[in-house]
Amino acid sequence: MRDSYNRFFKKFRIGIDELIDFGIEDTIFPDEDEIGEEWISLINNATNNKRVFIRGYGRDAKGTILFQEFYKITLKNNNIKKDSTNNNEPTRLLQKITGYIKKGESANINNYQVSHIFGKTKNPLMFTAPWNIVWNPKIFDPFTGHESKGDYTEKYHKNFIKTAKNKYYPYIKDYNNLVDKYFNYIIIDSALKKVEKFADTQNIGENKFNKFKKVVYDELSKIDISDINN
């Protein structure tokens, strides 16, 4: 198998362990001891019918209404909003909690991008969770994006995720408890039946709705922390 990453590292004599160490070290993680208030605020807003955000779903974000309807039922929240740029709110929050600013006269960071550690961007408890967003060095995007494959990507991603799990273990436990309360399988199944009736009124076909159902289970799943000893 000809792997361009492998050839590049051999050419410039870069070891994968060195790469992993530098990439994780240069990632700007929010301080785990200073994000508690933001996390509590997000939970309160999401569960008390206050404004929270998600990333748009589907082509031209037209499927976002399905998630909004779903959260009206499960969270009893009528104020789930689509992020204006699909990354505006996480960027704003990350700038606030890290002190690093990407654009404008106050910019003090360059060639970093906002990344969601665990994904789940259509989940209002995760899209702006302060422990789910980092400043990721752009040069490492090939190792964290969905497009790349291979041993280097797999090993980097595994170490990156494990680092985040260790840093944010208490917050992940909180999140998993919230999943049990608001998004367990019984609640999801019941809500999806109601959303399906809504989808019919919006002329959303069976195939599109079935895809939506699969995304729901993925977006609202727990984060596995069985590999972390805390």
The residue extents of the domains of the chain are 4-219
What confidence tens digit (pLDDT) does each residue in 20-51 have?
A: 899 999 999 999 999 999 999 999 999 999 99
Tokens of 193: 């039946």
In this predicted structure, the answer to whether residue 88 has a pLDDT above a threshold of 70 is yes
Residue found by looking up tokens 């000893």 in the block: 229
Question: What pTM was computed for the model?
Answer: 0.93
Contact between residue 30 and residue 131 where contact means Cβ atoms under 8 Å apart: yes
Q: pLDDT value at position 13?
A: 86
Q: How far apart are CA 186 and CA 118, in angstroms?
A: 24
% of the chain with per-residue pLDDT over 90: 80
Residue 154 pLDDT level (bands cut at 50, 70, 90)? confident
Q: At what angle do helices 36-47 and 169-182 cross, to 10 degrees?
A: 10
What confidence tens digit (pLDDT) does each residue in 161-205 have?
A: 999 999 999 999 999 999 999 999 999 999 999 999 999 999 999
